[in-house]
């Protein structure tokens, strides 16, 4: 994989026709070390956010040893890439065949569930194994998050008693897990969820060995300025310490976005301008799915050797396909003189952007290049500087 100092260096040297994914291994290492060292428990990476084998290896080398997998394909991928990693199958609805393969072929011992049916399925598929870590998923509010995960999975706390009791009988270690939604903008999300955990434990009167607070840890985007991650960690730690749980209970979390968003950006070329609309060579069927379908705003930067002295204006983007849905409304603020042939860097696409590409309409590119500068925005600014002292900027 080629290496350049930054997007401008790559654009100047190569003038790429197709979009290029710019990866920043140092940013992923920094995020992984932050969670490994500062979260008051075990951090396991949610693979769905970005399943790149290169990224998985970076996280492993930086202290992330546990991986939240949601499908048998992710189980196989991580087992193949990181044979010594611990895999946790945290999707609450799994094929029985997937459970069987995960347990007997890949050594998976941790599974989540939210129904009696799923519990029975796990017991059958593992042939009544006695070494299971089984995590009952509670439904909690997503009110503090930008993307809800409150409707599809999770047992209501008031209905969890029988399931927790039955799972306790089948499990070597009993856990309770939840997910507050993606991009939680307040630590209060975890405090409120932990109160639901408390109520469920008290009602069921069972010994709990694992509390898994799931994902939802935020990154920084235009219009989204979350508090420092340490504030989330403090709230979670205090709530965990006050729960009526086993003295030896473990605290887990499942960061996805927070570990990989800063890992990658995309360099795109403007193919046409129509007023405030820019036609670019990546879009809704590529790395910009979230920008198109949920209106997510990503940081953008004009990549041009001569600095523009024009004011910024708001643009929207059209992607390269023939589909009208290939539209990213933004607004994306760029210098008003942006024109065809210009390059734009779109940041914070390491989470989900890289994972959701398709080849629809014959468009798309797998071209990657390492860049050495820092991400366009970061929540880890106070951590150690990523660039060595001998790097000279352009």
Whether pLDDT at 99 is above 60: yes
How high is the pLDDT of residue 3? 82
For CATH 3.20.20.10, list the domain ranges present in the chain: 25-260
Superfamily of domain 3-23+264-371: Lyase, Ornithine Decarboxylase; Chain A, domain 1 (2.40.37.10)
Average pLDDT over residues 202-215: 96
pTM (2 d.p.):
0.92
For CATH 2.40.37.10, list the domain ranges present in the chain: 3-23+264-371
347, 300 contact by CB (below 8 A): yes
Any idea which residue has 């796990």 for tokens?
Answer: 122
User: Looking at the domain 25-260, which fold is it?
Assistant: TIM Barrel (3.20.20)
How high is the pLDDT of residue 394? 33
Q: Per-residue pLDDT tens for 236-276?
A: 999 999 999 988 899 999 999 999 999 999 999 999 999 99
Q: Per-residue pLDDT tens for 20-76?
A: 999 999 999 999 999 999 999 999 999 999 999 999 999 999 999 999 999 999 999
φ/ψ of 311, rounded to 5, equals -70, 160
């Amino acid at each position: 994989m080629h290496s350049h100092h930054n997007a401008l260096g790559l654009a100047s040297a190569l003038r790429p026709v197709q979009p290029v994914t710019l990866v920043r291994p140092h940013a992923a290492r920094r995020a992984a070390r932050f969670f490994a060292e500062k979260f008051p428990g075990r951090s396991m990476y949610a693979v769905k956010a970005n399943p790149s084998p290169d990224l998985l290896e970076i996280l492993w080398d930086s202290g992330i040893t546990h991986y939240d997998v949601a499908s048998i394909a992710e189980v196989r991928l991580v087992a193949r890439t990181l044979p010594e990693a611990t895999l946790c199958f945290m999707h609450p609805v799994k094929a029985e065949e997937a459970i069987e393969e995960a347990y007997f072929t890949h050594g998976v011992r941790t599974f989540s569930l939210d129904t009696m049916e799923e519990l029975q399925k796990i017991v059958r598929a593992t042939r009544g194994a006695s070494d299971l870590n089984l995590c009952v998923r509670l439904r909690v509010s997503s009110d503090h998050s930008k993307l809800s995960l409150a409707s599809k999975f999770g047992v209501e706390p008031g209905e969890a008693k029988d399931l927790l009791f039955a799972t306790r009988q089948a499990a070597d270690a009993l856990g309770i897990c939840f997910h507050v939604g993606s991009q939680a903008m307040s630590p209060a999300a975890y405090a409120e969820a932990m109160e639901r955990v408390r109520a469920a434990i008290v009602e069921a009167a069972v010994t709990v060995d694992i509390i898994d607070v799931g994902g939802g840890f935020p990154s920084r985007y235009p219009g989204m300025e979350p508090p420092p991650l340490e504030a989330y960690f403090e709230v979670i730690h205090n709530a965990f310490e006050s729960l009526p749980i086993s003295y030896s209970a473990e605290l887990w979390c499942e960061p996805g976005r927070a570990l990989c968003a800063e890992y990658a950006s995309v360099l795109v070329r403007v193919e046409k301008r129509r007023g405030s609309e820019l036609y670019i060579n990546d879009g809704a069927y590529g790395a910009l799915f979230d920008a198109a379908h949920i209106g997510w705003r990503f940081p953008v930067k004009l990549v041009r050797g001569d600095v523009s002295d024009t004011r910024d204006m708001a643009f929207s983007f059209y992607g390269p396909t023939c589909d009208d849905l290939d539209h990213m409304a933004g607004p994306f603020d760029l210098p008003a003189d942006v024109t065809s042939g210009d390059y734009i860097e779109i940041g914070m696409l390491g989470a989900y952007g890289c994972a959701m590409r398709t080849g629809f309409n014959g468009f798309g590119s797998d071209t990657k290049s390492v860049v050495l500068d820092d991400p366009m925005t970061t929540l880890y600014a106070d951590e150690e500087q990523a660039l060595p002292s001998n790097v000279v900027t352009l």
